[in-house]
A and B are shown apart, each in its own frame.
Chain A
Amino acid sequence: MRMGVAVRRFGIPGFVHSLYHLISRRAIVSPRAELEWSSLLEIGRESQISSFVKIKASEGPVRIGERTDIGCGVFIAGHVHGIIIGDDCLISPNVSIIGVNYRYDRADRLIREQGLQSGGPTSIGNNVWIGAGAVILDNSQIEDGAIIAPNAVVSGRVPAMSIMSGNPAKIIFTRR
């Protein structure tokens, strides 16, 4: 890990993040959340970030909209294409939102030596509820009003107002 990233990630005390976001955006960030001190990280007005949330925003933007709640233990890893979360979303505890994949094209080399890739931005629309433990993979597009059931694994497009469940997640119902 580069020194600059390490400082941005671990060098700023939690209460500094909390104060900064409270004053600048009226957002409530737990001092026990692990955020990165980076211009690539934006947290919208009146959003809430709970304890033990970890957000990586060194390689690409992570934008969280307004009045969005991020539950305990959520992991958000942005990469070059970034992660965009809309307004009024409810992200339940232990959800993982991953904006990158390891390459594994060559079987004769270690996976960790083959580098990273991202197929595109991972986006979550407005008014989305993601159940506890769900995993949102790189290049997923969750549209407005969707609900993701607990422990679902999402990869790809989730149409607006749909409810998805399972691994791989499938539409089980469309809200009406």
Chain B
Amino acid sequence: MAVNMDELMDLVGDIIEVDPSKIDLRRDRDDVPGWDSLAHLRLITAFEQQYGVRLSMEQIVEIRTVEQLSRTVNGA
């Protein structure tokens, strides 16, 4: 399944409680208010459920931006 970026923005916005239109795809999660370690885990769980994938711990740690998250399904 390919990731629809609008859907992904909605998902991220819902988890970190920001307006999806204000999410910067390439912004590091340390610079995004609300994207703390617990929100990151909630986001990964919701992403896995929505797209039917299972990420490894290494991938989960390495994901720093929304763009990187989308690539886990869409490919580089």
Contact = CB atoms under 8 A, between A and B. Distances in A.
Q: Which of the four size classes fits the interface of chain A? A: under 10
Interface of B: 38, 41-42, 44-45, 56-57
User: Which of A149, A163, A172, A174 counts the most chain B CB atoms within 10 A?
Assistant: A172
17 contacts: A149-B38, A163-B38, A163-B41, A165-B38, A165-B42, A171-B45, A172-B38, A172-B41, A172-B42, A172-B45, A173-B41, A173-B42, A173-B44, A173-B45, A174-B45, A176-B56, A176-B57
Interface of A: 149, 163, 165, 171-174, 176
Chain A contact residues, majority secondary structure: strand
Chain B contact residues, majority secondary structure: helix
B30 to A, nearest CB: 19
A171 B44 CA distance: 12
User: Which of A149, A171, A173 counts the most chain B CB atoms within 10 A?
Assistant: A173
User: Which of B38, B56, B57 counts the most chain A CB atoms within 10 A?
Assistant: B38
A171 B42 CA distance: 9
Nearest to A171: B45
A176 B60 CA distance: 11
Interface pairs A-B: 3 shortest CB-CB: A173-B41, A172-B42, A173-B45
Nearest to A131: B38
A67 to B, nearest CB: 25
